[in-house]
Amino acid sequence: MRSVILYTLARFAIFAATAGVLALLGARGFLLLLMAVLISGVVSYVLLAAQRDRMSAAVMKGYQAQRERFRKAVTKEDA
């Protein structure tokens, strides 16, 4: 779960930094938000690849654990 929070915070930080730079360059309103989302998405894709992989592994581990608990509960109920 920690990796999910760290990845999300890093994405927000990159978005905020991008929006700040674009605001200094004169972008305003909807254009500012649109450009910040697009640019920060590309930057995050490149810079946060390792964190994204760790987050994905953590999410899958949680999903598989939940699925296993469900399978055990169904098996116990059927018995």
Is pTM, for the whole model, over 0.85?
A: no
Provide the pLDDT for residue 79.
Answer: 65
If one compares 1 and 27, the residue with the highest pLDDT of the two is 27
Quote the number of domains for the chain. 1
Measure the CA–CA gap between 17 and 36, rounded to whole angstroms: 9
Neighbouring C-beta atoms of residue 69, cutoff 10 Å: 10
Mean pLDDT rounded to a whole number for the chain? 92
Half-sphere exposure of 58 (CA within 13 A, CB side): 13
Range of 59's domain? 2-78
Q: Which percentage of the chain shows pLDDT scores above 90?
A: 78
The two tokens of residue 31 are 């254009």
Neighbouring C-beta atoms of residue 32, cutoff 10 Å: 17
pLDDT at 73 over 90: no
Mean pLDDT throughout 55-62? Answer: 92
